[in-house]
Structure formats: C-alpha cells, structure tokens
A and B are shown apart, each in its own frame.
Chain A
Amino acid sequence: MSVSGIRRAIAEALEAVSGLRIYQTAPESVNELPAAYILPRIGTYDFTMGGASMVHQFEVIVLVSKGGSLAEAQETLDKYLDPTGTDSIKEAIEDADLGTDADTIRVDGYRDYGGLEYGGTPYIGCKFDISVWV
C-alpha cells in the first residue's frame, strides 16, 4: 500500500505498450522517445472511516519526438489515446497488477495534448490522469 508500489505497477503495465520507454520517476533527461514518466499529483485521504483508505491521482506524461514532421509526431501520439488496443495507454494501465498496493485503478482521461517542454527541450505530448483507490 505505497505510492512507489503503485508507480511500479503502472510502469510495469505500460511495458505492454510496444516501443514506449518507461520512466518510473521523472528522469533527469529523456534520451529515448517515445517516453512516458509517472508522477503522483494529488492525494485525498479518508474516503471511509477507520481505515487507511485514500485516493491517489497520478499523472502519466507521454512525450514523443518533435523531430521530423509535426504531423508524424501527432500520429505517433494519437495511437496512445485510444481507449483500447495494443497501443492504448488506458487499456495498459487499467490492466495493471496492483497487488496489495491498491484496490482499483482507472484512467480518467487525457489533456494538454500539444507542445510540452521537459528539461528545457520541447516535445509533443499529453498527460493522462489516473485515479487509484487504496
């Protein structure tokens, strides 16, 4: 029942997406693309009484290369947005084996599709919002 355990489970689940370089934590620099890294963003404690229940909201940020044509970058990114399929970020994450770290997980949606900067380098990317109930 830990944030790092959930992060690990999400990372392992994302390995099902072929060709995606997964960083469990925010990397110093992104050397391989397309890439995804995982951040806990918001935590809400106590959704029941007397337990250790809480909701974590994670973010998975997907970055693709801006090199080449912009259209090509968008097409690479688009396939990750599908709700199902082999490249679907949602499907991969919701298949995560959470073990004892959490009860259930849901990918709520994506946002901020477009230009993203990381470590001073511009990329094309988007952010997926994930809710995890513990």
Chain B
Amino acid sequence: MAIYAGKNARLYIGGYDIGALAAGINSVREKEYKQYSVLDGSDGYHYMPIIGKDTISIDGIFDDNYTTVLNSLRTSSTGYQVIIPFGVTQGDRTWACNSARLGKYNVTSVVTDINKVTFDLVVDTIPFDECKSLHPAATRTTSSNGSSINESAGSSSGSVGYLQIWSLGANDTLAVKIQHSTNDTNWSDLITFTTLDGASATYTSERKTTSSTVNQYIRAAWTFGGVSPYTGTFIVAWKRV
C-alpha cells in the first residue's frame, strides 16, 4: 500500500507548474453507461459502457502572478498536456492526459479570507492515462539516466509515455528517452521523444505510444547537446498498457 500526502501532489499544465497555486485537485475519471434491455429474462436493465469523460477541477489561491498563465490556458485554441503526480518520488502514481482545455475559472472573494480561484478543465479526446512517474519534475544539468523501476514482469501490449519540458537553456538541446531492459543492465530505447532545441522553444510536451514488447525494467534517460553549461527542467511519466 502506498499512501501519498496531498501536499506532495503536483500539477503541471502546458509547461506551467501550477502546484504552488493549488490547494486541492479533483481529477475525475468518468465513464457513462448507456442502459438497454433485451429479452433475456432479466428483471433489470443492462448497461453498456460509453467513452470516457474525464475532468480536472482545481481549487487554489488567487495569485496575480498566475493570471497570465490562466488567461493563456483559457484563450488557447488547442488543449494542453496535464501531468498530475500524486507524489514526488519516482514510481509514484501519476495521471496524465495529452490535451485538456480550460473551460472555466472563477475568483471568489470573501471578506474574511484571501481570494480563492477555482478552475475546471475537460480532458480532450484521450482520457487520463494512469501512469507512474519515471522522472519526477527536476532540473538537470548533465546528461544521465534515472534509476530503474522494476515492473516485476515484461508485457507485450505496448506502453504510453509523457514528456513535459518547461525550461531549457537557450543554447541547449535536450533529447529524452524511455528505455527498457530485461535484466536491469542492458538497455534499449523504448520511446524517443522529439529533441527540443532551446534556441527555438523552452517548452514542449509530447505523448508517445508503443505497441509491442515492453521489458521488465524501465527508466528515463536524457542527453544534452549544444553549449555547456546545460540546464533543463522536465518530467517523464509512463504506463504499461
């Protein structure tokens, strides 16, 4: 059993770390069921699952430093990737979706309290993936790899990986991979994310899938290029299908 303290949850939306704003996150995985009946002698309805309808609600403090962030999320014509780790340690449960849209945010002022903000997002197209944190959000300055996660066994139905980079040195490039291994010693690439060039962008997010064999051990690896010293801040989440 792994119990996580709420204070260790984090919220990363489209290249923004919103955790310092959030007092509560309500991530909802919802699936509707359509009722139907057949002449099979049953007394009750049968229910057929329909597609997912996931949402995210955030309660937080109204911090003027985040007004620009919320406005950019609200006015965006495209959805933003959201990663919600429920803990800060590698391997901790992490929900992720590649496209969420900010539908509403409101500010509540009560005379006896500080101003509070609430905002609601809808998960677009692909419902939440229930992942593990492979590389908790951190700033790296050298090429390296994370420690491995032992998944107890391999599988053959593929996997899903998420990357969100929200800062990169202007003279740096950063290539992030997810690697797998049968023995925790010899590693091969499982997912290779698009290399980000800090000269043209300091933020990217990507969701990539694989559909074949996934070995027992998993880790993140990252390689800097360009001009040293390097700096990049990113998170990697992953799930076995």
Contact of B22 among A49, A104, A108 (CB under 8 A): A49
B19 within 8 A of A: yes
Q: A104-B114, A108-B112 are in contact. Are A48 and B11 (CB under 8 A)?
A: no
- Chain A residues with CB below 8 A from B8, complex form: 49-50
- Chain B residues with CB below 8 A from A53, complex form: 20, 61
- Chain B residues with CB below 8 A from A108, complex form: 112
Q: Give min CB distance, B89 to chain A, whole Å.
A: 14
Contact of B17 among A46, A50, A104, A106 (CB under 8 A): A50
B46 within 8 A of A: no
Interface residues of A in 14-54 (CB under 8 A from B): 46-51, 53
- Provide the bound-state CA to CA distance between A48 and B114, in Å: 13
**What is the chain B residue whose CB lies nearest that of A104?**
B114
Q: How large is the interface on B (under 10, 10 to 19, 20 to 34, 35 or more residues)?
A: 10 to 19
Q: Give min CB distance, B126 to chain A, whole Å.
A: 25
B114 close to A51 (CB less than 8 A): no
B114 close to A50 (CB less than 8 A): no
Question: What mask results when residues 1 to 45 of chain B are scored 1 for a CB within 8 Å of chain A, else 0?
Answer: 000001111110000010111110100000000000000000000
- Chain A residues with CB below 8 A from B19, complex form: 48-51
Q: A108-B112, A133-B114 are in contact. Are A48 and B10 (CB under 8 A)?
A: no
- Provide the bound-state CA to CA distance between A133 and B60, in Å: 14
- Provide the bound-state CA to CA distance between A134 and B60, in Å: 14
- Chain B residues with CB below 8 A from A50, complex form: 7-8, 10, 17, 19-20
- Chain A residues with CB below 8 A from B112, complex form: 106, 108
- Chain A residues with CB below 8 A from B22, complex form: 48-49
Q: Give min CB distance, B119 to chain A, whole Å.
A: 14
Question: What mask results when residues 106 to 119 of chain B are scored 1 for a CB within 8 Å of chain A, else 0?
Answer: 00000010100000
- Provide the bound-state CA to CA distance between A48 and B6, in Å: 9
- Chain B residues with CB below 8 A from A48, complex form: 19-23, 60-61
A49 close to B9 (CB less than 8 A): yes
**What is the chain A residue whose CB lies nearest that of B58?**
A49
- Chain A residues with CB below 8 A from B21, complex form: 48
Q: Give min CB distance, A113 to chain B, whole Å.
A: 20
**What is the chain B residue whose CB lies nearest that of A46?**
B7
- Provide the bound-state CA to CA distance between A18 and B41, in Å: 88
Interface residues of B in 198-223 (CB under 8 A from A): none
- Chain A residues with CB below 8 A from B114, complex form: 104, 133
- Provide the bound-state CA to CA distance between A81 and B8, in Å: 41
Q: Give min CB distance, B157 to chain A, whole Å.
A: 33
Q: A108-B112, A133-B114 are in contact. Are A51 and B23 (CB under 8 A)?
A: no
B11 close to A49 (CB less than 8 A): yes
Given contacts A49-B10, A49-B19, A53-B20, 20 further A-B contacts (CB under 8 A): A47-B23, A47-B61, A48-B20, A48-B21, A48-B61, A49-B6, A49-B7, A49-B8, A49-B9, A49-B11, A49-B22, A50-B7, A50-B8, A50-B17, A50-B20, A51-B19, A51-B20, A53-B61, A106-B112, A133-B114
Q: Which 5 A-B residue pairings sit nearest by Cβ, starting from the closest?
A: A50-B19, A51-B20, A46-B7, A49-B19, A49-B22
Chain B interfacial positions (CB closer than 8 Å to A): 6-11, 17, 19-23, 25, 60-61, 112, 114
Could you jot down 19 A-B contacts, CB within 8 Å? A46-B7, A47-B23, A47-B61, A48-B21, A48-B23, A48-B60, A49-B8, A49-B9, A49-B19, A49-B20, A49-B22, A49-B23, A50-B7, A50-B20, A51-B20, A53-B61, A106-B112, A108-B112, A133-B114
